[in-house]
Structure 1
């Protein structure tokens, strides 16, 4: 079926997926090493000003560019807040947390947002990275939760201790129990976002 390129529209055609993120840096080698370790990524191409990394079927998921005159990131200016990467299970999220910890990569903020259980990190340039697992079986259930009174009262979430979650998983507790968000009432932004 042919489509008309000139037909009036109310909604633009959405892309099929998010392909990659490009980060500008003044610290190329440290950033390359960090993302290799953080994502278990391979460097697909690298020279003195560019690096392309991938950890899956895409030819590159993260690109790094070192341009002359690049200044250090200011955390209080407009721009990208974070990049998020999903895992298939809480077990895998916590396994990657422990593996990163072995490499000296420590989390910034573990939080159960409700729709996701997430662990945030900060790269050498100060960019935030979220690693997450979906807490609901499908997007419709997550959307329903995001329309709830509980989410409206606290859209930020509830902090958790990854080490405690690992122990509880090892003791046989079900992932669904651990990923169900506790309700604590209203909550503002965490300190690292202010």
Structure 2
């Protein structure tokens, strides 16, 4: 294996995003939440640290209880959210219903255009996005993001997940359901904090 001695202008991109580590002063409720929310298993846990996974990665989420932490301040800078992708709209909506049965209700349901997304808050107030891609290829999604419609409304259009479930159950085409309805300009004031 050789190291390039002339690295050029662009840094090599990583192969994948491996995991996210969350700091908390609320370890067990956070572990319980993510284990249920992600259908995850605990790979390792002790009285101050837990590693969880839901796929073939050794851990996707780690939660560390650190001394001296205060509550999350929603109006502070930092990570906005973590996003998890589902393969189909039916999978996204099934997970929504399963979470709802566990008392986990969404904070925001929005069709961004490139994705249809359902957002939640964990026990510490961190935002989690669950989504399904609206387009079959990244080229199609990129083209939409370069469009006038996306520029006019990069946030998206809110939806009712129960209404969307009804439409799926009536047999409407998933491609039609994933297509964003255009409502014109929308600003940041419409995002729940």
TM-score range, shorter chain: over 0.9
Q: Which residue of 2 aligns with 1:17?
A: 16
Q: Does 1:100 align with 2:60?
A: no
Shift of 1:175: 0.5
Q: Which runs of 4+ in 1 moved over 2 A?
A: 2-5
Aligned residues: 192
2:66 is matched with 67
Q: 1:8 offset after TM fit, Å?
A: 3.9
Q: Please list, as runs of the form range in 1=range in 2, the aligned pairs for 1:18-167 lying within 5 A after superposition.
A: 18-167=17-166
Structure 2 counterpart SS, 1:99: helix
CA distance in structure 2 between the aligned counterparts of 1:26 and 1:79, rounded to whole angstroms: 17
Which consecutive unaligned segments of at least 5 residues does structure 2 have?
none
How much does 1:6 deviate?
1.7
Question: What is the CA deviation profile of residues 24-78 of structure 1, one whole-angstrom value per residue up to 9, with x for unaligned ones?
Answer: 0000000000001100001110001000000000010000000100111101111
Aligned to 2:192: 192
CA RMSD in angstroms, aligned pairs only: 0.9
1:181 matched to 2:176? The reply is no
Q: What is the alpha-carbon distance in structure 2 between the residues aligned to residue 81 and residue 106 of structure 1?
A: 19
Aligned to 1:169: 168
Gaps of at least 5 residues in structure 1 are none
> What is the distance in 2 between the residues matched to 1:191 and 1:45?
36
CA distance in 2, matches of 1:98, 1:78: 32
3-state SS, counterpart of residue 118 of structure 1 = strand
- The CA distance in 2 between the partners of 1:56 and 1:35, in whole Å, is 14
CA distance in 2, matches of 1:191, 1:67: 30
SS at match of 1:51: strand
1:191 Cα offset (Å): 4.3
> How far apart, in 1, do the equivalents of 2:67 and 2:15 lie?
34
Q: Distance in 1 between matches of 2:88 and 2:191?
A: 28
Give the TM-score normalised by the residue count of structure 1: 0.97
